[in-house]
Amino acid sequence: MSDSVDLRFLDPALPLVERVQLLVGQLTLREKIAQLLHAAPPVPRLHVPAYNWWNECLHGVGRAGRATVFPQGVGMAATFNAPLVHRLATAISDEARAKYSDAQRRGNTGMYMGLTFWSPNINIFRDPRWGRGQETYGEDPYLTARLGVEFVKGLQGDDSRHLKTVATPKHYAVHSGPEAGRHSFDSVVNARDLRETYLPAFKATVSEGGAHSIMTAYNRTNGEACSASPTLLGQILRGEWGFQGYVVSDCGAVEDIHAHHKLVADMPSAAALAVKEGCDLCCGEIYRNLLEATQRGLISEEEIAVSVRRLFDARFRLGLFDPPAQVRWNAIPDSVVCCPEHRQLALEAARQSLVLLKNDGTLPIKPTINRIGVAGPLALDLVALLGNYNGHSPAMTTILGGLAGLVGNGVTLTYAKGCEPSGGGAFAQDGLRWLFADSELIIACLGYTAELEGEEGDAFNADAGGDRAKLGLPGRQQEFLDFLLTLGKPVVVVLCTGSPVDLRVAQEKANAILCAWYPGEAGGVAIAEALLGKTNPGGRLPVTFPKCLEDLPPFHSYAMAGRTYRYATAEPLYRFGFGLSYTTFAYRQLRLDRTTLKAGESVTARVTLTNTGMVAGDDVAQLYLQPLAPSVPAPRWHLEGCQRVHLAPGESRELSLTVKAEQFQHYTDGGQPFLDAGSYRIHIGGGQPDDPHAGCLHADLAIAQTNVLIPN
């Protein structure tokens, strides 16, 4: 390599491919290898600054200090509102760009200050024991795909020249616990389940969303390490889907190929295998072994250069080598971070995420009630608002704080923590009985926090390495609730959680249950508004709440039989898509624009939705497809359309939902999608077809062709 330096790659007028080639062609082998580490060092002679690829933004810019904190991913999913998720991601990327610009001015090039975000988490929440399910959009591939696409688009922006940020859907591809074994287990899954459940959201975020990055999972899938899988990375991601971006490993996942999966003899072999199979960027240090790997003939310099070019392509697309004034996103001001508009958006999202699970008429709280008791370990707990991978807002409102801000000056609020969120410790029953003696109603604030469920190592109080060993309330919370239910007062349970909880006792004996998830900085305000009737809860469950662990298959099994609403046969406590309201809705006059369907066609269903109650509210119209006599194993029914609608009392609206022929597809034993001739039923209502609250209507149509294969 010549000592002369060619800086023409800094000319934004040159084609992108040429700029990348000019830069990478001047790097030495050692410099190329160093650029494959997540903490990429500078190359001063080429004016290449240091860059740290590691950043997070599941529900707001995470782990980088000040940022607006939106509801955790599962709460976003409960909104069933893809346009809202797009707005949230746009706000997040606005703040990301502003924070990056300020960090550059300060010379802060460290972790969590870059523009490449390892979000969203679009793994399927197949088992409620998984601690990281809170990060996902729930158990349904369709809903996960729709929300994932909008999140990716909101992060990456709409500029034809420069990416606003880089989105990184994760963890590719068959990954959802157990956390304790994630570095060594093999997710054995048949081709049908792989294509029908685990891959659709990844395909959508790549093919429709244009995601420029993908993160691999720690585990193996069908024997292949996900970070070096010729099937997942080569055949499917780049081959079938045409992915043109870069792939990053989860942190330490390439090390696992040797250390835990035992697929190769040593670390240089693991590093070489990962790069050769298409894992371009390493979160960790193992790629330093690539120098030895080249010396041993395990990988060539050109194979390394392929990955280096992909990474610099992304940095050029972000505008990092262009004059700042030519990059539209550099004009975003510092003032956008935690601005009033974003704080209002956080409140709107929290409002829409709330799911009313039970109500005997106790809610909304009557304005004539003057004495309210607030009890439980999460009433005054900021951690219960956050979820994991969070930022820090200067405007956090607890549940008690939200109530205090909204009740009248003449209303008495009596508060008692009662018990700890987890662990043992007695609670003083006599004192609590005296404290709440005059209360007309008790609000019990219970559930989990990200300290009790989450990622291995982060959820330090979890009972199963980040996961949950049980579905019930943690610690002595169930005993505390049982005690409150003996006081002879109406009891409203407010549940903070990132996953399903066994609420059988509360469902039987409490007067109302409001699921708040981890609702973000404005959670306390949103909860108080809903309890007091200033807003009307309209969220829906993005996950099934089973009755008990005994209704679930073994946690380590990745077969979908018996899992999620699509395949389970056990009666759940609460169905996927379920949620109550302070008003009522009716569906009428379902019409299809065709009764037969062929490949390449679509069918549009129209229905009239009416608010038949006395207050304004949101309903989520859900469209499910049901194969009546499938020729292969298939879901009993599956969500393929949804629309959140706000209606005033007495207002009606005609809704139109369109379904493409490929959404009816089944899969062969080998994972090939095909259209199967036969009868299908389209259900539309406020929930699943077997939900008595949903008011579903249905109409039948036929697929007119037999075994029409659809390309993957």
Give, for 359, the enclosing helix (H) or strand (E).
strand 355-359
Distance CA 402, CA 224 (A): 50
Tell me the backbone φ, ψ of residue 355, rounded to 5 degrees.
Answer: -120, 120
3 state DSSP class of 539: coil
Distance CA 161, CA 168 (A): 19
Type of residue found at 364: P
Tokens 């497809």 sit on residue: 625
β-strands 602-611, 585-592 pairing: antiparallel
To the query of whether residue 250 is one of the catalytic residues in this protein, the response is yes
Count Cβ atoms below 10 Å from residue 43 Cβ, excluding itself: 17
3-class DSSP string for 223-234: CEEHHHCHHHHH
Is the CB of residue 76 less than 8 Å from the CB of residue 147?
yes
Distance CA 623, CA 638 (A): 8
HSE-up of residue 288 (Cα within 13 Å, Cβ side):
9
Distance CA 632, CA 118 (A): 37
User: Which residue among the candidates 127, 140, 250, 467 is catalytic per the annotation?
Assistant: 250
DSSP code per residue over 263-280? -SSSHHHHHHHHHHHT--
> 645 forms bridges with which residues in the sheet?
619
DSSP code per residue over 647-662? E-TT-EEEEEEEEEGG
Tokens 């707990």 sit on residue: 381
Task: Summarize the chain as % helix, strand, coil (round to 5).
Answer: 30, 20, 45
Cα–Cα nearest to 605, from 540, 680, 537, 500: 680
Q: Give all strands of the β-sheet with 666-667 in edge-to-edge order.
A: 666-667, 673-675, 708-709
β-strands 491-496, 441-447 pairing: parallel
- Across 552-634, the runs of DSSP E, i.e. the strands, are 585-592, 596-597, 602-611, 617-627
Distance CA 220, CA 348 (A): 40
Cα–Cα nearest to 116, from 158, 182, 170: 170
**Active-site residue list:** 250
